[in-house]
Amino acid sequence: MDSFFLYLGMGLFTLVFLCLYRSVFGPGVLNRIAAISAIGTKTLVILLLMGFIYNRVEMFIDISMVYALLNFIGTITAAKYLEMKGEV
């Protein structure tokens, strides 16, 4: 079962790089913000998979909850900033 979680984590890591490409070469600012938010979500899932691999799920759930909150606040802050600046 650990090898399944490991391969799943490597697949998600590959998807993070695809989102990173979109965040660097995205056609617009909103697409870049959405790609960065998707990177945060995939990183959250990778953290939970690490918890399953190391049999310390309760510790990694706490870390991933804080990371999800920071990801959400960062996305909202960037959207508000761009709205006030007038780029949206």
Give residue-wise pLDDT tens across range 15-36: 999 999 999 998 888 888 999 9
pLDDT value, residue 85: 86
- Better pLDDT: 86 or 44: 44
Tell me which of 2-11, 36-45, 74-83 is least confident. Answer: 2-11
Q: Please write the tens of the pLDDT for every residue from 39-66.
A: 999 999 988 988 888 888 888 899 999 9
Q: Measuring CA to CA, how many Å separate 15 from each of 30, 35, 53, 55? A: 19, 11, 20, 24
Arithmetic mean of pLDDT, 63-78:
92
pLDDT value, residue 82: 86
Q: Is the pLDDT of residue 88 over 70?
A: no
Cβ–Cβ < 8 Å for 38, 51: no
